[in-house]
Amino acid sequence: MIQRSWKIGGIALLAYVFWTTFTVPLGPGLLEFRDRNEAASTDGITKRIETYELIGLGTHWTVQPEELRLFIRKGDQITPLPVIDVIDDTHAHAALLLPDTLPSKAWDVLINHPIDGTLFLQNGLFVEGFVVDESAQLPRPQFEERSADLPHHFPFQPRIFETIRNLMLHVPMWFTMFLLMGIAFVASIRQLSQSAGGSSLFDLRAEASVQVGMVFGVLGLLTGSLWARYTWGAWWVDDPQLNGALVTVLVYAGYLILRGSVEDERLKARLAAVYNLFAFVILTILLMVLPRFTESLHPGKGGNPGFNSYDLDSSLRAVFYPAVLGWMLLGTWMYRIRLQATRLNQKLHRLNDE
Amino acid sequence: MFHTLLQVNPIEGFFFGSGKSMVVGGVAVIIIVGLGLWMWRMEKRIQRLDETATRQTNSSNESAEA
């Protein structure tokens, strides 16, 4: 019963993951806050008015347009900008009504709306023609972050947009590969701890586990490369995390080549087990340790919007965690089938020899 | 939203704005369930073959001993 339920559970989890990944809508976000190049009017010597266009994605500004509030923020300084006109759900015009002296040129843009909640565009406004004085203080308005009043949706990430869905495929592939290579590592240790004439069951386990792990590793590379082409505009970039992942897969390809190049079964088992120990150490260093000490373009690393504890909100977790578990269960099932098939193959060879 | 998304990225806008994402989601679910059924059948077949091979090995061992 347990044998059956975890397999059904794995497939059910993946069916849920695929369905939600492709059907849950992306949440609203801010795309741009741009100068319309139309000076509207001037308000004396200390004020200037320029109109700006605010562009959103998936926003609902025609619902309660009078409640749309616009702010700009730098550090702890925050100031409102008047919204002149709401054109449609995703376009609104605002006036850049600011004092001549500002504490900064670069500002984050924020909006508050009853449906969309608080949306944020980092460094969305760069003002020119103002006197910059870091000690200048702006009047502080009432500002309170609001949550969106929308059904289940994935969070909006600048530049990533809809490709955030790849998180449910790409990252669990590596987790599953890590699990399978871990199984191979333990099997290799047990193989080496046996006497020289011991059973080759652990060797078969290690081999089957690496074979299935390689499938997930290659799928991880493919999903990552496809995402990179779409988001960064290149299939591959010279990045420590990406290169580390590729080297890891190549190291395990070396394991399979090593196995194929040795005829003697006992020698093959021992050599492969020793190689596998080093391969797992390399995997851990290249995928888990090294990326934490280097700058990388990869999401989750410095300077790039990613899936850290802040970005991975509850809507993503509700799909991401089942995805990790589902892919791991599928990988373990594939490994078991591969092992059974290999053992059967050995039995049939022995029968043929007899 | 559809038009704005089309401006940002034509493929994404087309995919999610026209309801094709539902079709892709459905096809993906069918594929993963089909994969599960295929693996289930394959596992059963391997088990059956394994049992047959074990029986044959045992019988050949017995005849060799006799």
Q: Are A270 and A192 in contact (CB under 8 A)?
A: yes
- Residue A44 pLDDT more than 60? no
Residue in A7, A8, A23 nearest the CB of B21: A23
CA distance A225 to chain B (A): 18
Q: Please, are residues A160 and A297 in contact by the beta-carbon 8 Å criterion?
A: no
| A57 at interface of B, judged by CB pairs closer than 8 A | yes
Whole-number pLDDT of residue A8: 95
Parallel, antiparallel or unpaired: strands A77-81 and A83-88: unpaired
Q: Please state whether A63 falls in left (phi above 0), alpha (psi between -120 and 50) or beta.
A: beta
The pLDDT assigned to A320 comes to: 93
Q: Is A349 on the interface with B (CB under 8 A)?
A: no
CA A138 to chain centre: 37
pLDDT for residue A3 = 76
Residues in chain B closer than 8 A to A343 (CB atoms):
50
- pLDDT averaged over every residue in chain A: 87
What's residue A48's pLDDT?
Answer: 53
Q: What is the DSSP letter of A58?
A: S
Chain A hits for B54, CB-CB cut-off 8 Å, are 347
User: Are A254 and A176 in contact, with CB atoms under 8 Å apart?
Assistant: no
Q: Answer yes or no: is pLDDT of B4 > 60.
A: no
Beta strands in A114-216 (DSSP E): 117-126, 131-132
Mean pLDDT of A238-242: 88
Q: Where are the beta strands (DSSP E) in chain B?
A: none
pLDDT at A311: 59
pLDDT at res. A156 = 87
Choose the most confident range, by mean pLDDT, from A25-29, A179-183, B22-26: A179-183
Are A306 and A299 within 8 A, CB to CB? yes
Quote the CA–CA distance of A240 and A228 in Å, as a whole number: 14
- DSSP E strands, chain A: 29-42, 47-57, 69-74, 77-81, 83-88, 91-95, 98-99, 101-102, 106-113, 117-126, 131-132
Q: Identify the pLDDT of residue A150.
A: 87
Q: Cβ–Cβ of B25/A90 closer than 8 Å?
A: no
> What is the predicted pLDDT for the residue at A302?
55
SS (H, E, C) A251-271: HHHHHHHHHHHCCCHHHHHHH
Distances A217 to A98, A210, A349 between C-alpha atoms, Å:
53, 10, 30
**Bigger pLDDT: A282 vs A24:** A282
Compute the distance between CA of residue A26 and CA of residue A153 in angstroms, rounded to an integer: 5
Q: Residue B22's closest chain A neighbor by CA?
A: A23
With cut-offs at 50, 70 and 90, classify the pLDDT of residue B2. Answer: very low
- Cα Rg for chain A, rounded, in angstroms? 28
Q: Which of B28, B40, B49 sits opposite A22 (nearest CB)?
A: B28
Q: How far apart are CA B43 and CA B37, in angstroms?
A: 10
- Residue by residue, what is the 3-state secondary structure of A229-251? HHHCCCCCCCCHHHHHHHHHHHH
Q: How many CB atoms are closer than 10 A to CB A33?
A: 25
CB within 8 Å: B25 and A22: yes
Q: Is the pLDDT of residue B6 over 60?
A: no
The token pair that represents A53 in the structure block: 């266009």
Average pLDDT over residues A270-290: 93
Can you tell me the mean pLDDT for A320-324?
A: 95
- What pLDDT does residue B1 have? 45
A123 touches chain B (CB under 8 A): no
* More confident site: A131 or B33: B33
Are A273 and A259 a contacting pair, CB within 8 Å? no
pLDDT of the residue at B19: 77
Angle subtended by helix axes A167-193 and A265-284, to nearest 10: 130
What are the structure tokens assigned to A349, written together?
A: 């060879």
Is the pLDDT higher at A162 or at B35?
Answer: B35
Using CA atoms, how far apart are residues A200 and A99, in angstroms rounded to an integer?
A: 79
**Spatial distance between the Cα atoms of A132 and A139, rounded to a whole number of angstroms:** 16
Sequence ranges of chain A with CATH classification 2.60.40: 29-132
Residues 38-57 of B with CB under 8 A from A: 39-40, 42-43, 46-47, 49-50, 53-54, 56-57
Contact A71, A83 (CB under 8 A): no
**pLDDT value for A173:** 96
Shortest distance between the Cα of B7 and any Cα of chain A, in A, equals 10
Mean pLDDT of A276-290: 93
Q: pLDDT, tens digit, for every residue of A298-310?
A: 887 654 545 555 4
Q: Minimum mean pLDDT among A39-43, A89-93, A315-319, B49-53: which range?
A: A39-43
Closest alpha carbon to A212 in A191, A182, A239, A242? A182
**For residues B13 and B45, which has the higher predicted lDDT (pLDDT)?**
B45
Average pLDDT over every residue of A183-206? 86
Of the pLDDT bands very low, low, confident and very high (cuts 50, 70, 90), residue A245 is: very high
Q: Is the CB of B33 less than 8 angstroms away from the CB of A25?
A: no
Q: Answer yes or no: do A26 and B16 touch at CB < 8 A.
A: yes
Classify domain A29-132 by CATH number: 2.60.40
* Average pLDDT of the residues in A58-70: 92
- Interface list for B 11-40 with A (CB within 8 A): 12, 15-16, 21-22, 24-26, 28-29, 32-33, 35-36, 39-40
* Residue A319 confidence class, pLDDT cut points 50, 70, 90: very high
CB contact under 8 A, B46 and A57: no
Q: Does A232 touch chain B (CB under 8 A)?
A: no
pLDDT of residue A315: 84
pLDDT of residue A303: 45
* Residue range A116-157, pLDDT digits in tens: 999 989 889 998 888 888 888 887 787 888 888 888 888 888
| ipTM of the modeled complex | 0.81
